[in-house]
Amino acid sequence: MQGMAQAIRAGVHAGGAVPVIDLANKADDPTEASAPTEPLTDVRVVCMGPDEPFAFEGPCRSIGFVYPCHFGTMPQRVREFASALDLSGQTGAYRYAVVTYGGGVKNPALAELNSLLAKKGCPLDYSNAVKAFSTYVILYKMSEKVTEKTARFKYGLEFIVDDVCARRKTPTVRTGAFDSLYTRLAMKNCGRDEDRHFVVSESCDGCSVCAAVCPVDNIRIEGGRPAWLHRCEQCLGCLHLCPRVAIDFGAKTKGRGRYKHPEVTVHMLIAYNNNHPETLGHRY
Ligand SMILES: Cc1cc2nc3c(=O)[nH]c(=O)nc-3n(C[C@H](O)[C@H](O)[C@H](O)COP(=O)(O)O)c2cc1C
Ligand code: SF4
Ligand code: SF4
């Protein structure tokens, strides 16, 4: 694995929703002659969900963190994953982060990772936020323009891929006073036992898709129905992907719509959650 590029992917994904670029950070414009454009090949994708600590097998050419913005900042699991990461030996890697967000506060999601990695002597070289749409149906209905937004994302993401392939650099955004206040207030709702509000209707047929797509193994099927184990990241993957639309968050999510990215299958999410994307016949 010497020299392999690594992309570290968040184990938190509501419905496999894929995001829309915002180009919040403008990359430096490197001279074409010096930009070492290198396609993203030989990539290993690692899910941040499992408890087992991840260890690099050798120095990497690049290391990327891709995760959604939750409550203005990083999901707790991503924070834990990055905190536990041993980056000694990775100082020569190009380090980047890409955050997906719904359209609200997102800067702390990048700033916090950057300061965490900086303490390990490996600050981010590049970071950017990609605007998606909120899958947080606890607060909002799914956007009626979600198909259009998904298409815009696909187009916009190409700019980020281009930046990363060219090893472009950005200054990582700072967290403003409003961002900090928002995050502090919003995180009051991020307890891992918030899953106590999930309810299951009679439509449930015990198929166990909800348990399989949970990136942090927070669901057991007991007596043919899901039971939540209070280590929830609130990604809402279980709720969005239940084939019977049997899961709700109390009464709040009723009639608010569900989302699954058209090109992301449940089978793919399960393979990534279990760190076996090779079973899909491609590496990432
Ligand atoms: C628990 C939760 C909290 C969220 N908080 C924010 C937020 O503070 N700001 C924002 O712009 N989007 C927020 N969102 C929207 C997500 O960032 C968006 O749904 C996500 O990037 C879509 O990707 P995913 O389907 O892979 O999760 C939140 C979503 C969830 C589920
Ligand atoms: S995915 Fe839906 S139908 Fe399947 S076990 Fe879970 S709640 Fe029941
Ligand atoms: S229980 Fe549901 S909302 Fe919580 S982390 Fe698992 S899939 Fe996400």
CA-to-CA distance for 37 and 35, rounded, in angstroms?
6
Q: What is the pLDDT along the chain (284 residues), one digit of tens a residue?
A: 233 344 554 333 333 333 233 334 445 544 444 455 667 677 888 999 998 889 999 999 999 999 999 999 999 999 999 999 999 999 999 999 999 999 899 999 999 999 999 999 999 999 999 888 899 999 999 999 999 998 888 877 888 989 999 999 998 778 888 999 999 898 887 899 999 999 999 999 999 999 999 999 999 999 999 999 999 999 999 999 999 999 999 999 999 999 999 889 999 999 999 888 877 775 44
Phi, psi of 204 (to 5 degrees): -60, 130
What's the CA angle centered on 278, arms 213 and 133, to 5 degrees? Answer: 45
* Closest residue CA from atom 8 of ligand 3: 235
Q: How far is CA 200 from CA 137, 196, 215, 245, in A?
A: 16, 11, 19, 9
Query: Using a 6 Å CB cutoff, which residues line ligand 3?
Result: 195, 214, 216, 218-219, 228, 232-238
CATH of domain 189-278: 3.30.70.20
Contacts of 151 (CB under 8 A, 6+ apart): none
* Closest residue CA from atom 4 of ligand 3: 232
Measured in Å, residue 17 CA sits from the centre of ligand 2 at 19
**Has this prediction a pTM greater than 0.85?**
yes
160, 234, 244, 250: which is closest to 11 by C-alpha? 234
Hey, where are the domains in the chain?
5-182, 189-278
Measured in Å, residue 74 CA sits from the centre of ligand 1 at 10
Count CB neighbours of 84 within 10 A.
10
Q: Which runs of consecutive H residues, i.e. helices, occur in the chain? A: 76-84, 107-118, 146-165, 177-186, 209-213, 237-241, 266-273
* Closest residue CA from atom 26 of ligand 1: 13
Measured in Å, residue 63 CA sits from the centre of ligand 3 at 26
Check whether domain 5-182 has CATH 3.40.50, yes or no = yes
